Amino acid sequence: MGSIAETLDWRGGDGGVDVVVRGAHALDPRTDLARVCDLVVRDGRIAQIADAGSAEAPAGAETIEADGLYAFPAFFDPHVHLRSPGQEYKEDIETGTRAAAAGGYCGIVAMANTDPVVQEPADVRSLRERASAEGSVPTGFVATVTRGMRGEELTEMAALREAGAVAFSDDGLPIVSAGIMQRALQYQRLVGGTILLHEEDPALTRDGVMGEGAVSAALGLAGVPAVSESTMIARDGALCLYEDATAHVQHLSARQSVEAVAAAKAAGARLTAEVTPHHLTLTDAEIESLDARFKMNPPLRTEDDRKALIDALRDGTVDCIGTDHAPHSSNEKDVPFEVASMGVTGLETAFSVLYTELVEPGVIDLGLLVERMGSGATLFDLEPATIAPGAAASLVLVDLEAEWEAGAEGWESRSHNSAFAGRRLRSRPVLTIVGGEVAYRRRSFAMRVAG
Amino acid sequence: MRHLLSIDDLDRAGVERICERARSFADIARRDIKKVPTLRGRTVVNLFYESSTRTSSSFELAAKRLSADLVSIKSAGSSVDKGESLQDTITTLSALGPDAIVIRSPFAGAAQLVTRWTDAAVVNAGDGKHEHPTQALLDVYTLLERIGPLDGKRIWIVGDVAHSRVARSCIRAFALMGADVTVAGPPTLIPRGIEGLGCRIRYTLEELAEADVVYALRMQHERMVDAFVPSLREYAINYQLNPRRLGARQLVMHPGPVNRGVEIAPETMDGPTSLITAQVASGLVVRMAILYEILAGGDVPRIAGSTPGSAEQLRPLPVGEPA
C-alpha cells in the first residue's frame, strides 16, 4: 500500500520543519498506542515516541505544547465533493482542502460529478496540477465510470488510471444498467481501482425527496423507500462476487442496506461500505422543520435505520466513515425543501459531531471512531495514517474538552450548508500535521520554536 | 397566534375561538351591509403561486369585508413558482409594509420559509402536499354548524391521500376536535406512515357504513401516469361515493373542485346530505375569522417599525359595527 502524502497531490511534500509534540495523549487503535508521550517528527516522519517530557528536540524544531490534547492518526475521507471544475461558487480545491485540514484530515478523495464531469485523462491531470498548487491536504481524484454519467458507455478507464484517477464513480447517480455495471467490474481486472457506488434505483426513488416513513407522510413530501438503495446493493454485491471484483458502497442510509452489505460480504463478495456522520447522528425527524439543510441523497431515515448503521459501524459491516461533503450555495438551500439541492457539508464537523453524539454518550469507543475515520484510505490502496516510529507523520491534535457552536466563527468551506450549524459540539481538532507539515492550525493555538 | 402555517399551530380552544368568530361574521353576512371596519388601515397581500378559485376569491372577499387594503398577486406558471426567487419576492413585498401575507405555493414549507423574510403575519393557503389549514378549519366549522361537537364522530377521508394537503390538514384538525378519523383509498395512494397523524387506514369501503361523515378527495387525472390507479373507471368502481354506498344520514364533504362521476356521483354531490356548498360559504367567514385572529385577535397588533404605544390607536373597532 502506498503513502497518502506521497501518492496523492497537494502543495506540501517537502517534509517541512521538524516538530516535537509534547505531552499529548497519543491514541492509535491500529498500533494499540495509548499513552501520554512526546512525538518527535523529523524529515516528515515520526522519528521517536518518547515518555512525556523526555524527548530531545532536534535543532530548529518547532515545539508544540500538547498537554491535555489527544493525538490521533489524521483522518481520511473517501467521499468529498470539491465542485471543481465548473461550480467554484460552491467550493474549490483550495477552500475544500482547507476545510479538510481544519477537520483533521490528511487525505481526501474528490468525486467526479463536476461540470463538466471528470472523464478525460486531461481532466484528471489538470485537477492534479491544481491540487499540487492549492491543496492543503493530499487529494485524490476519481473519474466517472460512464461517459457523461449517463450510464451507457464506459469511460477510457485505462487511460484515466494512467493519468492518476484513484478510482471510478458516477456518484450522484446510480449505474442503473446491470449490464454496464458488469462490464465496469470486468474491466477492473485490466485497470484496477475500485468502483464507488451511489446505490439507488430511480424506478423506486421516483420523485422522492426524503426518507419514506411517518414524517414524509405527515409532511406530504414524496418518500424514497429504503429498498431503492438496498435492492441495488444486493444486485451489485452479486455482480462483484460473480466477477470477483471490488466495489465500495457509499453512504449507507437504511437498515435494509446494512443487511444487503452484510449478506454480500458473508457470501464472499469484495464489497466495502461507508457511512456518513449525518446518517449516524440525525433522523428524518429533523425534516419536520422543513429546513432544506437536512436534504441530502441518500436521505435521513428513521431512528431504527440510524441504530442499524451504528451497529454496522461497530461490527465492521461498515468499513469507514466518509462525509459526502457536498457544498451548496444559499441560493440552492434557502428555497422550499422540494426544490432545494441535495447535500450537506461535513469535513469541518465530522469528528466533533461523532464524538459529541456517539463517543461521549458511550455509544461507541473513541478508538473505533478514530479507526473508522481513517480506514477509508485502504479503498485506494493507501496506508491509513498511523502513529508509529518510521511512519509518515500525519496526525491531528484534538481538544476533547473544547465546546463550540458549529459555524459561529464561520467556515473554511466556501459553502455553509451544514446540517449541524448552530449546534453545540464537544471536541475540536486544533492542529493537523500531514507528512510532517502543519496543514492547519486553529488561530488560538500557538507554537514556539525550540532553541 | 402569530402565523397560521399548520393546524399544529392551533389547540382545540384556538379552533373553537376561530369558529366562534366565524359564526359572528356569518351573522353580519346576513345583513344588508356586509362590511365591517375591523381591519381598516391594514394591508393584506394574497400571493398565489398556483391557480385557485375558491381559496383566493374567499380570502380576497374576506379581506374586503373586513375593510383591509388588499393586493392580490397571482403568478401561477411564472418562474417564481419554481421557488427560486421566493425570497426576493417576499423581501420586495415586505418593503411595502403588509400586515399579512396569504400564500399558496406548490411546495411544502413555502409559507414557513416566508416567515423568515418578512415581519408580516403569514397565512398558509396551501403549501404543496403538506397542509391547507384554512380549508380544514372551514371544514370543522361546517361540521360544527351542522352536527355540533365532533367528539367521537367517525369521519372517513376517502381517496388520494398521498397527494392531498387537504387530507393532511383535515386529519390533524378532525383528530384535534375529538373525531375518530379513518383514511381510505387504494394502497398506492395511502402513504406509508400516515397513521402517525392519528388516523386509521382502510383499503376498501366495506366498513364505510360506520362513518358519520365521508370526506371525498379530488382524484386527479394525472394519477394514472405513475400507475397509482389503472384507470379512473376502476377507481370509481371501488371508491366512488354514491347512493349505493352511502346511507341516508351520512354527510358528504368535498374540498372542490369536484370530478363529477369519479370520486363522487352527481346525485350524491347534489343530494340533501351534501355539505359541499355549505363548505364554500363557510370559507368566507372562516377566513375572515382567521384574518381577524392573526391581525386583531389576542396580542396587541404588531406594526412593523412602530413603537409599542402607537399600536394602541390601531386596535380594531368592535366587530359588527357597520363601516
Query: Looking at the complex, does the CB of residue B91 fall below 8 Å from at least one CB of chain A?
Result: no
Whether residue B322 lies inside any domain: the answer is no
Whether residue B305 lies inside any domain: the answer is no
Same-domain check for residues B185 and B156:
yes
Structure confidence at residue B147 as a pLDDT band (50, 70, 90) = very high
Check pLDDT > 80 for residue B308.
no
- If you write DSSP's letter for every residue of B6-45 in order, what string do you get? SGGG--HHHHHHHHHHHHHHHHHHTSSS----TTTT-EEE
Structure confidence at residue A266 as a pLDDT band (50, 70, 90) = very high
**pLDDT per residue as tens digits for the range A301-316:** 999 999 999 999 999 9
Calpha distance A351→B36 (Å, rounded) = 61
Check pLDDT > 90 for residue B37.
yes
Closest CA to A154 of A116, A197, A186: A186
Q: Report the pLDDT value the prediction gives residue B318, as an integer from 0 to 100.
A: 47
Residues contacting residue A111 through CB under 8 Å, at least 6 positions apart: A79, A80, A81, A82, A142, A169, A171, A172, A196
Q: Report the pLDDT value the prediction gives residue A445, as an integer from 0 to 100.
A: 72
Check pLDDT > 60 for residue A250.
yes
- Cβ pair B49, B79 in contact under 8 A: no
C-alpha of B254 from chain center: 12
Same-domain check for residues B178 and B126:
no
Residues of B in contact with A225 (CB under 8 A): 192
Calpha distance A129→A127 (Å, rounded) = 5
Q: Which of A324, A334, A381, A399 is catalytic?
A: A324
Structure confidence at residue A450 as a pLDDT band (50, 70, 90) = low
Which stretches of B52-186 are DSSP H helices?
54-65, 86-94, 110-117, 133-147, 165-176
Q: How close are the terminal C-alpha atoms of chain A, in Å?
A: 38
**Of residues A223, A334, A338, nearest to B191 (C-beta):** A223
Structure confidence at residue A422 as a pLDDT band (50, 70, 90) = very high
Q: Report the pLDDT value the prediction gives residue A167, as an integer from 0 to 100.
A: 98
Closest CA to A101 of A447, A435, A446: A435
Closest CA to B295 of B61, B10, B102, B53: B102
CB contact under 8 A, B86 and A336: yes
Structure confidence at residue A17 as a pLDDT band (50, 70, 90) = confident
- Nearest CA-CA distance, residue B49 and chain A, Å: 13
C-alpha of A415 from chain center: 17
CATH of the domain at B139: 3.40.50.1370
pTM of full prediction above 0.90: yes
Residues β-bridged to residue A440:
A432
Calpha distance A347→A332 (Å, rounded) = 19
- Cβ pair B140, B173 in contact under 8 A: yes
**Sole residue written with cell 517541512:** A16
| CATH fold label, A2-71+390-401+426-449 | Urease, subunit C; domain 1 (2.30.40)
Mean pLDDT score across all residues of chain A? 96
Number of H helices, E strands in chain B: 9, 9
Name the grid cell of B157: 377521508
Check pLDDT > 80 for residue B149.
yes
Q: What are the strands, taking DSSP E only, across A4-44?
A: 19-28, 33-42
Nearest CA in chain B to A217: B194
Whether residue B108 lies inside any domain: the answer is yes
Same-domain check for residues B170 and B248:
yes
Which helix (H) or strand (E) segment holds residue A439: the answer is: strand A437-441
Query: Looking at the complex, does the CB of residue A411 fall below 8 Å from at least one CB of chain B?
Result: no
Check pLDDT > 70 for residue B283.
yes
Q: What are the strands, taking DSSP E only, across chain B?
A: 43-48, 69-74, 100-105, 121-127, 154-158, 180-184, 200-202, 213-216, 251-253
Structure confidence at residue B148 as a pLDDT band (50, 70, 90) = very high
Q: Report the pLDDT value the prediction gives residue A185, as an integer from 0 to 100.
A: 98
Same-domain check for residues B263 and B289:
no
Domain ranges of chain A: 2-71+390-401+426-449, 74-383
* Dihedral-angle region of residue A368 (phi above 0 means left; psi in -120 to 50 means alpha; beta otherwise): alpha
Whether residue B308 lies inside any domain: the answer is no
Residues of B in contact with A206 (CB under 8 A): 226
Closest CA to A406 of A392, A423, A394, A387: A423
Same-domain check for residues B207 and B286:
no
- Which A residues, 206 through 225, put their C-beta within 8 Å of a C-beta on chain B? 206, 212-221, 223, 225
**pLDDT per residue as tens digits for the range A108-155:** 999 999 999 999 999 999 999 999 999 999 999 999 999 999 999 999
Calpha distance B7→B27 (Å, rounded) = 25
Q: B80 or A218: whose pLDDT is higher?
A: A218
- Which B residues, 150 through 169, put their C-beta within 8 Å of a C-beta on chain A? 163-165, 168
A244 is catalytic: no
Q: Report the pLDDT value the prediction gives residue A252, as an integer from 0 to 100.
A: 98
Residue B18 is part of which domain span? 7-132+282-299
- On the CB side of A126, how many CA atoms lie within 13 Å of its CA? 11
Calpha distance B315→B297 (Å, rounded) = 10
- Cβ pair A187, A237 in contact under 8 A: no
Residues contacting residue B89 through CB under 8 Å, at least 6 positions apart: B47, B80
Cβ neighbours, 10 Å, residue A302: 20
Name the grid cell of A45: 516522519
Residues of B in contact with A338 (CB under 8 A): 83, 107-108, 128
Calpha distance A35→A23 (Å, rounded) = 9
**pLDDT per residue as tens digits for the range B239-261:** 999 999 999 999 999 999 999 99
Mean pLDDT score across all residues of chain B? 89
Whether residue B313 lies inside any domain: the answer is no
Cβ neighbours, 10 Å, residue B52: 17
Same-domain check for residues B211 and B237:
yes
**pLDDT per residue as tens digits for the range B176-223:** 999 999 999 999 999 999 999 999 999 999 999 999 999 999 997 777
| CATH fold label, A74-383 | TIM Barrel (3.20.20)
Compute CA distances B144 → A374, B15, B16, whole Å: 63, 11, 9
Calpha distance B255→B13 (Å, rounded) = 24
How much of chain A, in percent, has pLDDT values that exceed 90? 95
Is the backbone peptide bond immediately before B230 cis, with ω within 30 degrees of 0? no
Same-domain check for residues B77 and B168:
no
Structure confidence at residue B297 as a pLDDT band (50, 70, 90) = confident
Tell me B59's DSSP state.
Answer: H
In the sheet that holds A75-80, the strands lie side by side as A75-80, A105-110, A139-141
Domain count, chain B: 2
Q: Report the pLDDT value the prediction gives residue B221, as an integer from 0 to 100.
A: 75
Calpha distance A240→A238 (Å, rounded) = 5
